[in-house]
Amino acid sequence: MSEQNSEEATVLGKMDKTFPELQLATTSQSRTDVESCRVGHVSQGTRHISMLETASVGWSICNSWVGVMSTLAFVIIQGGSPNLLYGLWLVFIMYGFIVYTLAELASVYPSAGGQYHWTAILAPKSWARGLSYTCGMINIFSWISISAGVAVIAPQALMALVIHHDPSFTLKAWHVFLIYQAVNLLCLLHNIYTIRRTMWAFNCFFALSLVAFLAATIISLVRAPTYQSAESVWVTFVDGSGWNNRGVVFFIGLLTPGYMYGGLDGAIHLAEEATNAREAVPRALLSTWSLGFLTSFIVSVAAMYSAQDFTTIATTPTGFPVLELWSQAMRSKVAADAFVAFFFVGALMALAGCQQTASRLTLAFARDTGLVFSAKLSTMNADHEAPIWALWANGFVVFIIGCVYLGSSTAFNAFIGTGSILQLVTFAFPAALLLARGRPARFLPQSHTFRLPRAFGWVANLFTVGFALICLIFWDLPAVLPVTGSNMNYSSAVIGVIGIFIAINWFFWARHHYKGITMVKFYPSLSSDLSEWCMSQPLFYIASAPRYGDHVNISPKGLPSTTFSILDPNKAAYIDATGSGAETIAHLYENGRCRVVEFWDQEFGVLTRQMGMEVPVGARAVIVLDIFKVQTSCGYGVPLLSETEHKSLLDRETLGHWAGKTVSDNKMVDYRAKNNAYSLDGLPGLKAGRQTRGEWLWVGETKAYLTRLWHQMDAMKPAYSIQVAALFLVVLGIFSPYFFVADYGLAHGVSPHLANYLFAFLNAGSLVGRVGGGFVALYLGMFNSMVLACFASALLLYCWLAIPSTAGLIVFALFFGASSGMIIALMFPTIAHMADHPSKMGTYIGQAAFIFGFAALAGGPIIGALFDAYPGYEQGIVFSATVMMAGAVVAVGARYMYAPDKLVA
């Protein structure tokens, strides 16, 4: 068995036809690798993508509000504002059913293959091969289409900026083509050479996207010269399509809201590189779904109200309607340009994510020999930890599609228009099979982390299939009547061509080579037959590793019948004899994955008697394993282990002979002191050995503790990192009233005597917030209370802009003091609760306080400089309010990551 991510497990050797390999999962991290084997293979590469990074990649691909804003031209004539806003709600609900369907399957079968793997698992045996092949090929084409659609946004946004400032500029197809290909190549090289070391960029873009969303929404509403009426926004239905049927127009117009979730399954295909994939992938899907709708709906409402002239927006020469919309609403070309420039950056990040995801899907399908040149396409480059051949293959197809743009933009648009349709079809495959199979427990075991209630599961699967069928019909219809060669929707023709390619690959390759996937079996405990099989094996091994390090120690332990015992179906133990180093014991002391009972402990005798076997001479410990999952082989690549002893081992002294002689010579104590006190990597080992050396045990424990603290700088929980980032932003803006409210009061007619008391009012309110915050947290939870206080403080700062009166400033000071006091009271308790052990609380709080200190030092000078540089107080207050609002939004993410399944936290 290969040991993934340096985890502790027990492997029991010789294969037979029933249990070709057995793994006893005894640690939390081992679960990830065990779960990835449900679909018949071990993941390639290392698990280096954190839970936050998984969510960030999923978000960056969809970038929902940007996707909706980029496709406004379509919906303006297909129903107008009501179609957009009500359509967003309908798509949100329908995709909610889809997300829950996918999340449930991803929690049971995390795999890069995603939908086609699930199809192979759920389909009847005679249908599994054909259905999974079809689903896999459709999924590959959907991701190629989505990648091409994302790649073309970059040149469209860039050239729109050029035309915006030079209306005389004539856009040529080759302009778009060259930028498209440059972007495709740039992201391809990034995915090959640097993405392994720059996954943090997706986290940064996630936060930047949320900040840009807030800024675009607020500025367009604040700066708009006039507003559309509620009737025109919510009621007036616009039909510029010629269909003269509101139902047809509405469903065709859902294509724009549908772009909110283009590439939704991105996180699914990263499962084999994600840590704790069975939890990370469902959470990434849910976060993209919920935040995608929230941002898309809010920014769309703001855009529809602040738009000035829909005709001008729809016919803008830039070809980018949102640029014209924001120019009108913000009354500033520069501001609108800045947000569209963000669209260009967003396209780069989305394309990088698309290529990363699509390459993992291609690799998985090639690994199952579903494609020509599978031997090359299924390889993961060891140096870059990237599927280079799969990346180049997908990039080449995207290049060819870009060449189509030179000949016909209509044909190009037809191909990229199939991405959302094909994606929904792949979602329907496993959902339909779940319905047909009756959602049995053998496919959806009770123990998995994201099990849907039975009734809701049926409803979610049913609506997933139904919505896919509806979109397959309506999104293939022409958008405008009467139909001409230039306005025809060729999506159905493109789907037909894709079908031909799928059939050709099947008949000339896959029919002979594609075998589907190999299933394995899982058990919650050791059954009697498994126990019997374990004890009949000729030898067993132990593999162990510290939490921080680059190596794995593998130690053969000999015959199970002599030292290994199954105490009950969920507990096993083995006797650890003296005769080598102390690697396993040192590692277990360091990581706590299994329990060590040394020979001088009273429990040692209890356990050895329970095991019912003779204790070897010089035995030093019993290792106790608590078993939560038992897995048979990931595949059939484990070789037979010969029972015939190799000649090179015949002259080696047996352990019993050596141990007996060592004890009789009174050298065992010295041996343990020399060889068992510490492991090869310097970790404290056998306590008895260290005591013999005259060492104080606390010295070794302190050294190990400091080593762990040092490594924890790189191993903090994602929720902790997000919370620190959120509170950094909050602290950056929170003290502006404390520094400047008195000066503001003087500038607005407050008497000097009373102005000085405004600071006292702030502190009085802060006292109430600091004390009352704890009581609020008892009922709402400290994280919920913190998030509410951050939002309240940011909104109060925005209100500060409109408060010129003395009475208003007093009220503001009291309320802001209370909300900011609650933040100060709760910030460090929330940080402390991020720690997974009390011993880590000091580290978490200390590092956070160190980082917050920079924000506290910088916030005042920045705001003061803005007050000095610009007349009035507006710029400084807006800065404070905006950074606090951004911090509040990021804090929502931290709260979700900390406790996604709790209402009160």
Domain boundaries, the chain: 41-513, 718-898
Look at residue 18 and tell me whether its pLDDT is greater than 70: no
Task: Give every CB contact of residue 413 below 8 A, 6+ residues apart in sequence.
Answer: none
Query: Is 700 within 8 Å of 673 (Cβ atoms)?
Result: no
Model confidence over 73-124: pLDDT tens digits?
Answer: 778 878 888 999 999 999 999 999 999 999 999 998 888 999 999 999 899 9
Phi, psi of 307 (to 5 degrees): -60, 140
Q: Cα separations (Å) of 160 from 61, 170, 317, 619, 686?
A: 22, 11, 8, 76, 69
Q: Is the pLDDT of residue 23 over 50?
A: no
CATH number among 1.10.3720.10, 1.10.10.10, 3.40.30.10, 1.20.1250.20, domain 718-898: 1.20.1250.20
Residue 646's pLDDT band, with cuts at 50, 70 and 90, is very low
Considering only CA atoms, give the Rg of the chain. Answer: 31
What's the rounded Cα separation, in Å, for the pair 79 and 252?
9
Three-state secondary structure call for residue 440: coil
Give pLDDT, residue 645: 47
Of residues 341 and 480, more confidently modeled: 341
Output the six-digit token pair for 637: 């690549």
Distance CA 899, CA 298 (A): 25
Q: How far is residue 837 from each of residues 700, 842, 894, measured CA to CA in Å?
A: 20, 10, 18
CA separation for the pair 16, 638 (Å, rounded)? 11
Quote the pLDDT of residue 642. 46
Give the fold, CATH level 3, of 41-513. Amino acid/polyamine transporter I (1.20.1740)
Q: Look at residues 889, 895, 739, 886 and name the one whose alpha carbon lies nearest to residue 816.
A: 739
Q: The tokens of 448 are what?
A: 């998995």
Between CA 905 and CA 898 the distance in angstroms is: 8
From CA 534, how far away is CA 30, in angstroms rounded? Answer: 20
Examine the pLDDT at 783 and tell me if it is beyond 80. Answer: yes
Please enumerate in sequence order all residues whose Cβ is within 8 A of that of 630, keeping only pairs 6 or more positions apart, or say none: 22, 23, 24, 25, 522, 523, 524, 525, 526, 530
883: helix, coil or strand? helix
pLDDT higher at 465 or 719:
465
* Residue 259 near residue 67, CB atoms below 8 Å: yes
Phi and psi at residue 565, to the nearest 5°: -145, 140
The identity of residue 210, as a single letter, is: L
- At 622, list the tokens: 């019993």
Which phi and psi (to 5°) does residue 453 adopt?
-55, 145
Q: Residue 532 to residues 520, 559, 566, 644: CA-CA distances in angstroms?
A: 19, 14, 10, 22
pTM over the 0.85 mark:
no
Please calculate the CA angle 516-519-520 and round it to the nearest 5 degrees.
160
Q: Is 573 exposed, middle or buried (0-12, 13-18, 19+ CB in 10 A)?
A: buried
Please indicate whether residue 669 or residue 649 has the higher confidence score (pLDDT): 669
Q: Report H helices in 259-387.
A: 277-306, 310-314, 321-330, 333-367, 374-377
Token duo for residue 267? 């996180």
151 pLDDT higher than 50: yes
Task: Output the CA torsion sign for 451, 457, 462, 464.
Answer: negative
Pairing type for strands 571-577 and 619-626 reads: antiparallel
DSSP letters, 342-355, are HHHHHHHHHHHHHH
Q: Which pLDDT does position 14 carry in this prediction?
A: 32
What's the confidence (pLDDT) of residue 633? 54
Question: Among 256-265, 625-634, 670-679, which range has the highest average pLDDT?
Answer: 256-265
pLDDT classification of 524: cutoffs 50, 70, 90 = low
CB under 8 Å to 132, separation ≥6 — which residues?
116, 117, 119, 120, 123, 516, 517
What CA–CA distance (Å, rounded) separates 496 from 173?
26
Q: Mean pLDDT throughout 409-425?
A: 91
Query: Looking at the predicted structure, is the pLDDT value of residue 352 above 80?
Result: yes
For the cut 80, the answer to whether the pLDDT of residue 849 exceeds it is: yes
CB 460 within 8 A of CB 101: yes
Per-residue confidence band for 483, with pLDDT thresholds at 50, 70 and 90: confident
Distance CA 509, CA 727 (A): 56
| Token reading at 447 | 């123990």
624: enclosing H helix or E strand:
strand 619-626
Q: Provide the pLDDT for residue 6.
A: 32
Three-state secondary structure of 374-417: HHHHCCCECCCCECHHHHHHHHHHHHHHHHHHHHCHHHHHHHHC
Residues near 733 by Cβ (< 8 Å), separated by ≥ 6? 794, 797, 859, 863, 879, 880, 881, 882, 883, 884, 887
- The answer to whether residues 357 and 49 touch, using CB atoms and an 8 Å cutoff, is no
Number of C-alpha atoms within 13 angstroms, CB side, residue 803? 21
Q: Answer yes or no: is pLDDT of 897 > 50.
A: yes
Write out the two tokens for 759: 């600071």
Which residue shows structure tokens 């360091």?
590
> Residue 529: is it exposed, middle or buried by C-beta count within 10 angstroms (0-12/13-18/19+)?
exposed
**Torsion-angle region of residue 781: left (phi > 0), alpha (psi -120 to 50) or beta?**
left
Which helix (H) or strand (E) segment is 106 a member of? Answer: helix 80-108
In DSSP notation, 442-508 reads TTS-TTSTTPPPHHHHHHHHHHHHHHHHHHHHHTTS-SSSS--TTT---HHHHHHHHHHHHHHHIII
Contacts 24+ apart (CB under 8 A), 504-509: 505/137, 505/370, 505/371, 505/372, 506/133, 508/372, 509/371, 509/372
Q: Rounded mean pLDDT of the chain? A: 83
**What's the rounded Cα separation, in Å, for the pair 423 and 61?**
14
Measured CA to CA, the distance from residue 629 to residue 606 in angstroms comes to 26
Please determine, for residue 651, whether its predicted confidence score (pLDDT) is greater than 70. no
Query: Can you tell me the distance from the alpha carbon of 431 to that of 202, in angstroms, rounded to the nearest whole number?
Result: 30
| Integer Cα distance of 265 and 139 in angstroms | 10
Least trusted range by pLDDT, from 54-68, 331-345, 563-577, 709-723: 709-723
pLDDT of residue 31: 45
Q: How confident is the model at residue 177 (pLDDT cuts 50, 70, 90)?
A: very high
Cβ atoms of 689 and 598 within 8 Å: the answer is no
Structure tokens, 766 = 């802060």
Confidence of residue 65 (pLDDT cuts 50, 70, 90): very high
Q: Which of 156 and 774 is assigned the larger pLDDT?
A: 156
Closest CA to 30 of 1, 64, 62, 58: 1
Identical fold between 41-513 and 718-898: no
Cβ burial of 547 (10 Å; 0-12, 13-18, 19+) is middle
Distances (CA, A) of 185 to 142, 180, 395: 20, 9, 8
Contact (CB, 8 A) for 151 and 180: yes
Which pLDDT value is given to residue 26? 45
Q: Which residue has the higher pLDDT, 83 or 450?
A: 83
What is the C-alpha to C-alpha distance for residues 822 and 766, in angstroms, rounded to an integer? Answer: 7
